[in-house]
Structure 1
Amino acid sequence: MTGHGFDAIDSLLSSVTEQAALPGPGVRRELRERGHLSRAQVAKALGVSPSTVSGWESGRDPSGEVRTRYAYLLDGLAAKFTPQAPAVEDDEDQADTDPSPEDASTEAAPEDDERADDVDVLAVPEPCVLCGNPASHRIDGFAQHLDPTDCRTAPAAPVPAAAPAEPATDADVVTAASRTAVVPTSAPPVPARAARTSRPVSRPTAQQKPRGRAFQEESGPGDLIVQAVQAALSEHGGDVEEATAALVKRAIPDAMALLDETRKGGRYDVVAHPALPKILHKQTSKGADQVWEARPKWTRRALPEGAHEVVALDMNAAYLSALKTHLPIGQLEHSTGFDFDRRRAGVHLITPPVWEHEDVLPNPIGNRDEPGPLWVTEPTLRLLLRLSGPKHRLCGPPEIHESYTSGSTEGLLEKFRTTLTEARAQALAEGDEVTLEYVKAMYSKFVSTLGESNYNREIYRQDWMHLIRSQAFANLWMKAWKAHESGLHVVRAMGTDELHVIGDWHQVFPEGRGVTEVKVKDAYTVGTEPGDQTGEGK
């Protein structure tokens, strides 16, 4: 009978194949990093997204054919880095090679669960990537002191020549609970990592890059931008317009690949799709969530007597500068009361203070007609607290009712930001409008698609999107305050990058196209005639 009996069972058994074995999540990440491969490179080779690779390195397992390909890659990497153990001839030799119980306990005793993933004991001390003094442990592949106080107190001393390690940055988000410890228990300790082939073992002091900013290899993330532009121009026969259009079209996936590249060597994995509180979800399919971004749209009510020339200034790369803001590292946690912790960031339900300077400066929370509490972002709250402090005394302190926050850092996107900033500056210096438009599309679309977007499935961080936008608004407000304090009359403040002023603005803002400079967008005359008091141009 068809479909029954032993033949059917044999057919069913033949269709079942054993899944390829995979090492633990921590080992997967260690092998990738030892091979100096980014998640974007691995993802491209396997036909998946970088966030999928991040998930595999955090505890999720692939299945089917992609699992087989992933196992093949990891086996190949393990074969390159696993040293061949010498043959054991007798029990006495074996006893010499096995670590003693005391040694084993030392290897398997990281200070906390967050570091248990990638802590190695170094046979020979290496320079700590944070302070440069000798360190006896390697964390996530980089020599560091386990105790932060050692970075401040350890005396500088010469150490055997070793390749300078890259710093572990705060540019990634922690998911330590989902990691698996990879400290060996019976195998011999893993020897210290060999120097990268792209660097000499030692360098003259004069050639070393200064501490205080992220170390980058000679071929760093910026090369991805250069290569993409060159490829687009070649593909389109040097046609600038067509090449630019093609690059802008692929700006989102390219920005995500660049972000992944700039996270190489980071101590934490980005949580691409965290659970977010209901206030950060859209209330309707086409509506908005409950967070207020404090976007300014302000026009001065009355102008000084007489006719005046108003200059509309454009703040360059507003969103690019705003990438440097306090972003939550982990999942947002709920709290109540005024307890404000500068080490955390998120969104806050506040009752804003009364603003009594509307005639000369915009309200820091923007144009809002409804009274009462509202949800604001970290940059808005910090701005209000700053303006209510002893230096400014422009308003009372906001009243905080409840918050959703997590531990935070300003450096989460710092390497991503500096890479784009340097590429932009180089393009300006060379008159390279193709790269300039490409970079602009990368950072602007990165911000705009962080939320619920059909164009970016790699990462969903509605909270980051709000915070970056609000930081740009806060930056514009502070420029308005700087102009006001310098004797200029602020006429308008619009969005993230438009400030209209009366007076000699050259004494306050440098002119140019750089990130810290401004350029003239428009100029018009206002006077005391009817219809001109609102600041409208003629």
Structure 2
Amino acid sequence: MSQSTSTLTKTRASITALLALSQQKQNVLARGIGLPDYAVTRRQGATPWQLDEVDRVAAHFKIDPLALLAGPDVACTEYARCHGLAHLAEYITAPSEEGPTDAEPAKPAAAPHDSDQAAEVTTLATPARCALCDLPTTTTLLGFPQHVSAEACAEAAEAAASGATPAQDPTTSPAAEQPPAPEHATASPAPERARREPRPRQDRAETHANCVAFLRRNVQAALKDAGGDMEAAAAYLEKKAIPHAMELLDISRAQGRYDVIAYPPLPDAIYKKPSKSKPNQVWEARPHWSRHRDTLPLTPGTYTVDELDMNGAYLSALKTHLPLGEPEHSTGAIDTLALKRSGVHLVTPGEWHHDHLPNPIGSRDEPGPLWIMEPTLRLLNRLASPKNGSLCAPPEIHESWTSGSTEHLLEYFRTALTEVRAQAIEEDDELSEHYVKSIYSKFVSTAGTSSANHSLVRPDWVHTIRSQAFSNLYGKALKSHAAGLHVIRLSGTDELHVIGDWRSVFDEGRGVTQVKLKNTSEIIISSEA
């Protein structure tokens, strides 16, 4: 391991190796050191380990804390010796009798290849992390996932660095185990490739149930501590909305395939504010548009304008393609839909020449290229498609900063809040409804660069979610126009004014998939002189 590797990285690698060596899961370790089930996943990816937690981890594995901090080689050797696994310890590190010299450091000794050990070498259907080098291996030795020799570990490391596939270990190669087939023998059909078992459905249901139970438990505890005082309980839950949002995020990712990266390196020239009073370079396409009466194809008379409100706009916008890790730079056109990527793009949008719908990028004072988030780019491409009447030219992409993305990163987070909100509305539980709104609204407002939330610094997420909310509202306007309604006003994330029978287009109600009538007004269309 390189001397420049940080202590935190060594510690995380040691814990990963010890979990594999002891055949424990992360939730078992979490419970063993007195942390919630999801905490180890978070410490291994998003937040650093605390020193007292490192001491408890070392005590859990019954090794010295300094061995844990020294890296996986030392930690596994210490574990093997402390637990009487001498046969494994000599394969991890076996210095010569004379000891290592300054010129030639000690190397892991190659495991013997006698008949007894060969009998204990098995092949894994799914690659696992080697207990020695923490790289993928398809073999187990004496019951532990690992390469069968130091040379195999070195080959795996070289292959990982070059991106190539490491050569298969000769002790487990099918060619080494089976004699060559006769010259005229009929070839047998190749066995089906082993497939990873899908994640059990009960795990997903359990994650959702844990999220819902967490929210309801907090409301009940706040109300009990406040002695039934609704206002005091509401004030307490409002104060705890941000830490509760982060804890809910951890619970929702307990069975997730992707770790939440809390502090990825992002391009400062785009996301960093030049000053407190000036915004960064991202243009969110916030709509604020009203239609001129002269453009309405209506006969003279008085018309009722229905002012519709979109329920839980930011809650619905949590379902969006969020970038996962460190963004990569590219120039020219990029098909993020096909590549499953998301990020920020410098584009020149097509011209907009329509009076019946607002410009999808909002009102701009200056023409030219601008940085937009993924939802806005996808909206522009949809409007440029023949399906929507080719309302504008596709945006010209000059450069992009994108990473792999998923639409499901906040799915359990969102669905748990949605369920608790729906039940609160049904039971007229204003406390729970207000609590849910505080969590998702403060999550969106503080997950970027806020002094109120240091657990997550993802301005790219905040801009993506906001842009998705604006894009969702624009989609409602587009749907209204396609159904024959007259769109009169579009503003913010939840304000849509129309003339016409909107109940034939949208379901009325307070659910997140419904809309409600907020107010009505009248306009008069005069006859021309």
Whether 1:320 and 2:310 are equivalent positions in the alignment is no
Which residue of 2 is the match for residue 103 of structure 1? 122
Q: For 1:388, give the aligned amino acid.
A: A
TM-score where L is the length of structure 1: 0.68
Whether 1:353 and 2:341 are equivalent positions in the alignment is no
Which residue of 1 is the match for residue 148 of structure 2? none
Question: Separation in 2 of the partners of 1:253 and 1:366?
Answer: 34
User: Residues 208 and 412 of structure 2 are in contact (CA less than 8 Å); yes or no, is this contact kept in structure 1?
Assistant: no
Which residue of 1 is the match for residue 486 of structure 2? 489
Aligned-pair CA distance for 1:264: 0.5
Question: Judging changes above 3 Å, is the alpha-carbon distance between structure 1 residues 101 and 219 closer, same or farther for their aligned structure 2 residues?
Answer: same
User: Residues 25 and 59 of structure 1 are in contact (CA less than 8 Å); yes or no, is this contact kept in structure 2?
Assistant: no
Question: Separation in 1 of the partners of 2:233 and 2:137?
Answer: 43
2:420 to 386, 408, 423: 423
2:58 to 71, 78, 94: 71
Aligned-pair CA distance for 1:424: 1.2
* 1:480-499 Cα distance to aligned partner (Å, 9 max, x none): 01111111111100111110
SS for the counterpart of 1:401 is strand
Q: How many residues align?
A: 417
User: Residues 127 and 137 of structure 2 are in contact (CA less than 8 Å); yes or no, is this contact kept in structure 1?
Assistant: no
TM-score where L is the length of structure 2: 0.69
1:33 to 20, 26, 33: 26
User: Residues 296 and 493 of structure 1 are in contact (CA less than 8 Å); yes or no, is this contact kept in structure 2?
Assistant: yes
User: Residues 255 and 443 of structure 1 are in contact (CA less than 8 Å); yes or no, is this contact kept in structure 2?
Assistant: yes
Whether 1:411 and 2:402 are equivalent positions in the alignment is no
User: Residues 126 and 194 of structure 2 are in contact (CA less than 8 Å); yes or no, is this contact kept in structure 1?
Assistant: no
User: Residues 207 and 412 of structure 2 are in contact (CA less than 8 Å); yes or no, is this contact kept in structure 1?
Assistant: no
Aligned-pair CA distance for 1:367: 1.1
Question: Separation in 2 of the partners of 1:259 and 1:117?
Answer: 29
2:212 to 206, 218, 222: 222
Aligned-pair CA distance for 1:71: 3.2
Aligned-pair CA distance for 1:59: 10
**Which structure 1 segments of 5+ residues have no match?**
1-20, 89-94, 124-152, 158-163, 168-207, 531-538
Question: Separation in 2 of the partners of 1:356 and 1:40?
Answer: 63
* 1:301-323 Cα distance to aligned partner (Å, 9 max, x none): 12433211111111001111111
Aligned-pair CA distance for 1:266: 2.2
User: Residues 39 and 54 of structure 1 are in contact (CA less than 8 Å); yes or no, is this contact kept in structure 2?
Assistant: no
SS for the counterpart of 1:522 is strand
Q: For 2:406, give the aligned amino acid.
A: T
Which residue of 2 is the match for residue 395 of structure 1? 392
Which residue of 2 is the match for residue 385 of structure 1? 381
SS for the counterpart of 1:408 is strand
1:506 to 503, 506, 510: 503
Aligned-pair CA distance for 1:215: 3.2
Higher-Rg member (1/2): 2
SS for the counterpart of 1:35 is helix
Question: Judging changes above 3 Å, is the alpha-carbon distance between structure 1 residues 99 and 263 closer, same or farther for their aligned structure 2 residues?
Answer: farther
More helix by share: 2
Identity %: 48
Aligned-pair CA distance for 1:288: 1.2
Aligned-pair CA distance for 1:24: 1.2
Question: Separation in 2 of the partners of 1:309 and 1:119?
Answer: 70
Which residue of 2 is the match for residue 442 of structure 1? 439
Segments of 4+ moved more than 6 angstroms = 38-41, 84-88, 104-111, 117-121, 153-157
Whether 1:306 and 2:306 are equivalent positions in the alignment is no
What are the within-5 Å matches in structure 2 for residues 82-481 of structure 1? 100=119, 102-103=121-122, 116=135, 166=199, 214-216=204-206, 219-278=209-268, 279-302=270-293, 303=296, 304=298, 305-342=300-337, 343-357=340-354, 359-392=355-388, 393-481=390-478
Aligned-pair CA distance for 1:377: 0.5
RMSD: 4.2
Question: Separation in 2 of the partners of 1:443 and 1:231?
Answer: 20
Aligned-pair CA distance for 1:340: 2.2
* 1:12-31 Cα distance to aligned partner (Å, 9 max, x none): xxxxxxxxx99713257775
Question: Separation in 2 of the partners of 1:457 and 1:256?
Answer: 10
Question: Judging changes above 3 Å, is the alpha-carbon distance between structure 1 residues 511 and 59 closer, same or farther for their aligned structure 2 residues?
Answer: closer
**Which structure 2 segments of 5+ residues have no match?**
1-10, 64-74, 88-113, 143-190
Aligned-pair CA distance for 1:285: 3.0
User: Residues 107 and 120 of structure 1 are in contact (CA less than 8 Å); yes or no, is this contact kept in structure 2?
Assistant: no
SS for the counterpart of 1:500 is strand
Question: Judging changes above 3 Å, is the alpha-carbon distance between structure 1 residues 28 and 281 closer, same or farther for their aligned structure 2 residues?
Answer: farther
SS for the counterpart of 1:103 is strand
Which residue of 1 is the match for residue 103 of structure 2? none
